[in-house]
Amino acid sequence: SHGVARSATSLKMAAESEVSFGELDGSSLQIGVLRTRWNDEHVTNLVNGIKSGLKECNVKEDNIFIKEVPGAYELPFAAKLLALSGTVDAIICCGVLIKGETLHFEYISEAVTKGIMDVNLGTMTPVVYGVLNCLNEDQVKKRSSNENGGHNHGEDWAKTAVEMSIMRREAR
Ligand code: DLZ
């Protein structure tokens, strides 16, 4: 009977979260997308997922600002510049780090993760962590494309940006 109660609860939660996603209205929001040139093909797929997620939330195409940076390490700096410009409600930092043979991956990954959080709290602008940290390209594909049973996480990042933008506006 415990099992039945548990599954009833998770069904209710699923239904509630569907309702709240449907209500995300981004029609008056300006969203910045910072994307790396590193791992261009995968990052482009993720940006396409972001665009389709933003469209689902009624964000206007003219209100989406997209800018390239070289690699993931550059994302926090660019995000801080954009946040301080006061021109966007939220920023999505989009990149892909793939583990190589050295410790480089761990160092960059940690710095970027910490850097993005610093910009969130330091500027009080929502900065979405749209960075995949993967051991190989197969893992990247599963998280950046809806093909072959994968899921494009860019769609979720877009909804997170809209949800957090609304939260910040409501707090003012
Ligand atoms: C140098 C480097 C390496 C080895 N790998 C990646 C990666 O997988 N993903 C990524 O976004 N960037 C990588 N970079 C570049 C760094 O992020 C950064 O652009 C350079 O170290 C210059 O600061």
Of the ranges 8-12, 55-59, 115-119, 139-143, which one carries the lowest mean pLDDT score? 8-12
Amino acid at 78: A
Report pLDDT for 19.
Answer: 45
Of the ranges 20-29, 107-116, 142-151, which one carries the lowest mean pLDDT score? 20-29
Nearest in space to 158 (alpha carbons), one of 21, 54, 39: 54
Separation CA 119–CA 125 (nearest Å): 7
Active-site residue, 104 included: yes
Separation CA 100–CA 39 (nearest Å): 13
3-state DSSP assignment of residue 90? strand
Separation CA 74–CA 43 (nearest Å): 15
Q: Which residue has the tokens 């389709």?
A: 52
In percent, the amount of the chain with pLDDT more than 70 equals 87
Q: Is the CB of 72 under 6 A from ligand 1?
A: yes
Separation CA 11–CA 34 (nearest Å): 36
pLDDT digits (tens, 9 = 90+) for 88-134: 999 999 999 999 877 789 999 999 999 999 999 999 999 999 999 99
Sheet holding 127-134, edge to edge: 64-69, 31-36, 90-98, 127-134
Residue 72 reports pLDDT greater than 80: yes
According to DSSP, the β-strands at 31-36 and 64-69 are parallel
Separation CA 121–CA 142 (nearest Å): 30
CATH number at residue 158: 3.40.50.960
Show the domain range for 31.
Answer: 2-171
When divided into structural domains, the chain yields a total of 1
ipTM score assigned to the predicted complex:
0.99
Tokens standing for 94? 């989009």
Identify the active-site residue in 2, 42, 104, 153: 104
- Average pLDDT value over all residues in the chain: 91
Q: Is the CB of 97 under 6 A from ligand 1?
A: yes
Region of 38 on the Ramachandran plot (φ > 0 left; ψ -120 to 50 alpha; else beta): beta
Q: Is the CB of 50 under 6 A from ligand 1?
A: no
Residue bearing the CA closest to ligand 1, atom 12: 71
Q: What's the predicted TM-score (pTM) here?
A: 0.88
Residue 17 reports pLDDT greater than 90: no
